[in-house]
Amino acid sequence: MNKNILITLKKEIRAILREKKSLIIMLLTPFIIPFYFIAFSYIFNGMMSEVDNSYTDTNHSLKYEVGINYNLNETEEQIINNLNLNMVKYETEEELKKAYQDEEIVAYIVYEDKNYTIYVNDMDDESTIAGNLIESYLSTYNDYLANLYLESIDADKDRVYHNINYKYVSLEGSNMMMNTLISIGFTFAVMSICLTAIYTTTDTMAGEKERGTLETFLTFPIKSHEIITGKYLAISTSCIITSMIDIFLIVLSLLISYKSFNVYKNAILNVNGLSILIAFIILVSFSLFISGLCIAISSKSKTYKEAQSSLTPISLITIIPMFLTTAGVKLNLGMSFIPIVNHTYLLQDLLLGKYNILYLMITFITTIIYTILIILVISRIYKKEDTLFQN
């Protein structure tokens, strides 16, 4: 490497390591990832267990109170005893409505002319669960009556119920919770790299102007492209350090969450040496890109404040892929040309074992092209006097 670039790189790295704010952002922001993984998994695991228990645990002390306007026969009572329901008899539909309004019951069934009508409130969790249990009760009772009929006419029940055999296999090998976890996890990772780039760029570029040290620097026997390359490499190095911490914490948190929480029991993770290496390379390429982008955007800024204002929107852009994932949008050819979006998507797809090699190649190649273009632009900008001088 060119001697002057190396000296500048050393100088800038030393400045970054001695600047507390940049150092904290660079080293500590990735630690939000394990906290998020554990907290998210704990909450969702709890929620899922509660829902599961609601359906299956008949010894559960709290039963769902459901109103009915008819008498249960012995069979119905047996079915209901196996579910987590407590049926309360009322005489009329009006009484049922009033009982629901008075919160004595969470749902009710009106039986009229051999028709059952189930009344539930979809906005209320307890009422929804009770509704599902009622459907289960009526379905089981319906099957019981069908069985009785088939027996009475001496029909072959298998010809009615078991004409075909099937089993359920999840092709994606993952579950929604794991997708969400990884999506938000990598959004945090990309965001932490962005924050590192923003803080180190602000200090390295605008800070040098605001402190008045740039004039000293420009008198040294060094070309402007050597100054900017040294600065660029220092900012990129900081981002790569953040990337390394990110990837280590993501893999560690993912494995701990996967093994510790039942909510991920159906998920298949693609965590191995190769996937970790590719994920790290994606984060490194992203670091090189975002460092250049931050320098280009803040190059005209003369003060910390100006630089911060111009760079803050970048950190907001990083959450777009998370929203797209939540909306069910998948990575496609067009999106694989869009930086930040393609990086975040590829990272999450990679660890879920479903990445597309074409999109991966497009992301790498376009990132390299964008980064080279940005470096050329910032080298030109950094020669201009209106970029270098305050007034």
Residues that bind other proteins (CB under 8 A): 3-4, 7, 11, 14-15, 18-19, 211-213, 215-216, 218-223, 385, 388-389
Nearer CB in complex with other proteins: 18/259: 18
User: What are the structure tokens assigned to 178, written together?
Assistant: 């794991």
Q: How far is the CB of 194 from other proteins (least distance, A)?
A: 24
Nearer CB in complex with other proteins: 6/43: 6
- Which helix (DSSP H) or strand (DSSP E) does residue 176 occupy? helix 176-201
Q: How far is the CB of 29 from other proteins (least distance, A)?
A: 22
Q: Closest by alpha carbon to 136, among 110, 159, 148, 118?
A: 118
Q: How far is the CB of 41 from other proteins (least distance, A)?
A: 41
Q: How far is the CB of 315 from other proteins (least distance, A)?
A: 25
Nearer CB in complex with other proteins: 15/269: 15
Nearer CB in complex with other proteins: 19/246: 19
Nearer CB in complex with other proteins: 4/136: 4
Q: How far is the CB of 3 from other proteins (least distance, A)?
A: 8
Q: How far is the CB of 302 from other proteins (least distance, A)?
A: 14
Strand, helix or coil at 3? helix
Q: Are 39 and 265 in contact (CB under 8 A)?
A: no
Nearer CB in complex with other proteins: 14/89: 14
DSSP of 330-347: ---TTGGGSTTHHHHHHH
Q: Closest by alpha carbon to 383, among 234, 225, 232?
A: 225
Q: Which residues of 66-99 are buried (b: 16+ CB within 10 A; e: fewer)?
A: bbbbeeeeeebeebbeebbbebeebeebeebeeb
Nearer CB in complex with other proteins: 15/352: 15
Beta pairing class for 107-112 and 85-89:
unpaired
The C-alpha atoms of residue 179 and residue 161 are separated, in whole angstroms, by 36
Q: How far is the CB of 383 from other proteins (least distance, A)?
A: 9
Q: Measuring CA to CA, how many Å separate 35 from each of 41, 44, 356?
A: 10, 14, 30
Q: Are 343 and 349 in contact (CB under 8 A)?
A: no
Q: Supply φ then ψ for residue 163, to 5 degrees.
A: -70, -30
Q: Closest by alpha carbon to 149, among 140, 157, 159?
A: 157
Strand order in the sheet with 64-68: 85-89, 64-68, 107-112, 115-119
Q: How far is the CB of 11 from other proteins (least distance, A)?
A: 6
User: Token match 């749902």: residue?
Assistant: 107
Q: How far is the CB of 244 from other proteins (least distance, A)?
A: 24
Nearer CB in complex with other proteins: 226/246: 226
Nearer CB in complex with other proteins: 161/389: 389
